[in-house]
Homo-oligomer: A and B are copies of this chain.
Amino acid sequence: MNIGQAARASGVSAKMIRYYEQIGLVRPAERTDSNYRSFDEKNVNELRFIKRARNLGFSVEEITNLLSLWRDRARPSREVKAIAEDHVAELEGRIAEMQAMADTLRHLSGCCAGDDRPDCPILMDLAAGDPRPAGTGRRTAKGRFGG
């Protein structure tokens, strides 16, 4: 199986398969005589696993851990659950922050006439409002969902 076929079969782009190999998320694929990567069903299953985990918002780092637990037939489910719960907590934190932003903006929008006149509570708030740090615990890394 070529990288393109593996990509279509797994839903992970060829570009990303190479990237995942490069950063060590998956083991380097076998190579043919002509240096083409070669994939089997097992590889594709792993890629699908990764794809689904990404769709649930897990970072590559978290997936590294999930993958090694997946491969370990003797893993305690406790460890998997812990990763999942941590991730849920992080998601909830980010949701709460964005919810606060959206709430504030909806309120301001509601106060804004939205007509031809220049008076605008949204701009007034931006110009004079308190800093409003959008949640206290600043996220430090891992800009997920980025372009």
Verify B126–A69 contact, CB threshold 8 A. no
A87 to chain B, nearest CB (A): 6
Verify A52–B146 contact, CB threshold 8 A. no
- Produce 1/0 per residue, A60-89, CB < 8 A to B: 000000100110111111101110110110
Verify B112–A101 contact, CB threshold 8 A. no
A70 to chain B, nearest CB (A): 5
The answer, yes or no, to whether A114 is at the interface (CB within 8 Å) is yes
Verify A94–B84 contact, CB threshold 8 A. no
A16 to chain B, nearest CB (A): 14
Verify B105–A87 contact, CB threshold 8 A. yes
Residues of B within 8 A of A145 (CB): 94, 97, 139, 143
Q: Evaluate whether A53 and B126 lie within 8 angstroms (CB atoms) in the complex, with A116-B78, A120-B81, A142-B146 already known.
A: yes
Verify A95–B98 contact, CB threshold 8 A. yes
What are 26 contact pairs spanning A and B, CB under 8 A? A52-B125, A52-B132, A55-B101, A56-B126, A66-B123, A69-B120, A70-B123, A75-B118, A76-B118, A77-B112, A77-B114, A77-B117, A77-B119, A77-B123, A80-B120, A81-B109, A81-B113, A84-B105, A84-B112, A84-B122, A87-B105, A95-B98, A95-B99, A97-B145, A139-B147, A143-B143
